[in-house]
Amino acid sequence: ETSGKFGGLGIEVGMEHGVIKVISPIDNTPASKAGVKAGDYIVKINDIQVQGKSLTEAVGLMRGPVGSDIEITVRRRGIKKSIVFTITREIIEI
């Protein structure tokens, strides 16, 4: 599902334990510039719990109009509190 152009964040994701795991942020994309790291777990997208959603549903929530903002809440190993990123979607070329 990562071919062509779309408004997104620029991260490769997979499903692990019912949540979305960042496999890797793509260099020079909104996600990498914001500080999203490989191994982060996305637990919320715009206040919507990700647990229980399919990978396709979660990816659909992250995509949207270029220039629009999205808020993702991330859990990172070694950090007790969740990290919230507000990221502006850009055209992601694959």
Q: Please give the model's pTM, rounded to 2 decimal places.
A: 0.88
The answer to whether residue 86 scores a pLDDT higher than 60 is: yes
* 11 touches 22 (CB < 8 A): yes
The answer to whether residue 55 scores a pLDDT higher than 90 is: yes
The answer to whether residue 7 scores a pLDDT higher than 90 is: no
- The CA distance from 34 to 61, in Å, is 18
What DSSP designation does 26 have? Answer: P
Identify each DSSP E strand in 1-94 by its residue range.
Answer: 5-8, 11-16, 19-25, 41-45, 48-49, 69-75, 83-88, 90-93
- Token pair listed for 9: 């964040």
For residue 86, list its beta bridge partners: 71
